[in-house]
Amino acid sequence: MTLTAPPTKVAIIGGGLAGLTLALALHDLNISATVYEARSEDFDQGGGIMLSPNALRVLDSVGIYQRIRDRSLQFDVLTFKNGQNETTDEYYFGSEKLYGYHAIRIMRKELLDEMKAMLREYHIPIHYDSKLVAITSDGPDEVKFAFAGGRAESAPLVIGADGINSTVRGTFLPQVKPMYAGFMGINSVVQRSQLRIPDGYSLPATVMAKSGAFLLVPQKPDGSELFIGSQRRFPALDAAGWEALRKDKQKLYDMLQENKDEWPDVVQSALEAAPVDRMGFWAFHGIPPLASWLSDSKRIILVGDAAHAIPPTAGQGANQAFEDVRALATLLSELSPDVPLDKAAAKWQSYRQDRIRRVLDLTQQMNMKRLPESERAKMPPGAIWSDKSLTRGEGGELRWLYDPDLAQEVKKWVEELKQT
């Protein structure tokens, strides 16, 4: 039986960005949720993320945005620079004027910690050190599931927010495996005061040179620290190989320093400042587009990276996860005999899959833009992203991406369903 009323209880597997935001959104709609997270409460994956207006609108709607704004760095554009310190393009990541919000960069742990604090304030239960290992039965009226250590639970609805390697997904789409996109980013962290930044040079920037693209991304609210690094093609390794590379900081450092002379002075100053012990990398993985984000019973629903992990060059992974959960929470609160879960979820999935397809196209064009010059020269017209609006983004070329209000969007679907 499909649900014809808001669920009495939702089990959320995964307490990452998608899972915690969903729990907060459901709470506001008086739907009770429980979160199960494999890791311990204080786990720190490290690093920062950039969030764009489409996601900040979601975080604003659940009350998180106001609480983290002052701990984030605000900016509007990612500048593309050539070797002569000139701006060749601008990519709008946010704009209060155009899209209602500046973009922000925030450390992932700070954002997660604030969400966890809100869950505590609202008394939303979250079980740490709870790794889901199996869904033991799916439907017709409830889902049963089990955790490492043997605990078993059930709920009328289970949300898989357990990331790119999703165990929940594995229970009904076992053939889906994360795929390596053939690119990696190698990075480090430096102090702004260590760099030779030309006057009037706008950051964050992607600096283009013969050997590819180099990122200079300020972080910390005052921009005193920069995340720096380059993106390159790199052959696939097996899990043990990636693990070995992660530990080999000297190797990563040497890779980052390759072709140092070909970079403009500002990048050279970043390379000179990069400490070996802060070296890291990020191998870009995605999953192939899934035909369905729902199990046959429609009582298991995938969100975030579990449903659509995408490579990072348009910076939309987490941003899209926030869109998923905002729309889903509102939709669940609107379920009724006229708006049954099976039909409602089909609308949600098709809207979300369309958006992800467009983001993937954009990501592909951004990947091409960051290739070495010689490779870019071979690309057909249109393959490489550029801001085609007359006034460098002021026309809002990315309006389709940043403008939608997901809660409003859902109200439209509900009206449509009621009329048919």
Chain positions contacting ligand NAG, by CB under 6 A: 29-30, 84-85, 163-165, 196, 198, 239, 242, 265
- Residue 89 sits in the site that holds ligand FAD (CB under 6 A): no
Phi, psi of 25 (to 5 degrees): -65, -40
Are residues 346 and 13 in contact, defined by beta-carbon separation less than 8 angstroms? no
Residue from 94, 218, 286, 304 binding ligand FAD (CB under 6 A): 304
Residues 255 to 284: which contact ligand FAD by CB under 6 A?
282
SS3 202: coil
Which residue, chain included where needed, has tokens 């907060």?
24
- Residue 37 sits in the site that holds ligand FAD (CB under 6 A): yes
- 242 interface partner picked from ligand FAD, ligand NAG, none, CB below 5 to 8 A per type: ligand NAG
For residues 95 and 97, give the distance between their C-alpha atoms in angstroms, rounded to a whole number. Answer: 5
For residues 365 and 221, give the distance between their C-alpha atoms in angstroms, rounded to a whole number. Answer: 30
Measured in whole angstroms, the distance separating CA 415 from the mean position of its chain's CA atoms is: 30
Residue from 17, 135, 197, 203 binding ligand FAD (CB under 6 A): 17
- Could you tell me which stretch among 159-167, 175-183, 205-213, 352-360 binds ligand FAD (CB under 6 A)? 159-167
| Nearest CA among 391, 229, 378 for reference residue 313 | 229
Sorted by sequence, the CB contacts under 8 Å of residue 150 that are 6+ apart come out as none
Concatenating the DSSP letter of every residue in 156-175 gives SEEEE---TT-HHHHHH-TT
Residue from 6, 7, 19, 229 binding ligand FAD (CB under 6 A): 19
- 198 interface partner picked from ligand FAD, ligand NAG, none, CB below 5 to 8 A per type: ligand NAG
For residues 194 and 192, give the distance between their C-alpha atoms in angstroms, rounded to a whole number. Answer: 5
- Could you tell me which stretch among 44-52, 190-198, 218-226, 352-360 binds ligand FAD (CB under 6 A)? 44-52
- 321 interface partner picked from ligand NAG, ligand FAD, none, CB below 5 to 8 A per type: ligand FAD
A 10 A CB-CB count for 382 gives 10
- Residue 163 sits in the site that holds ligand FAD (CB under 6 A): yes
Q: Which is nearer to ligand NAG, 33 or 398 (CB)?
A: 33
Q: Which residues are near ligand FAD by CB under 6 A? A: 13-19, 36-39, 47, 49-50, 131-132, 161-163, 167, 282, 304-306, 312, 315-319, 321
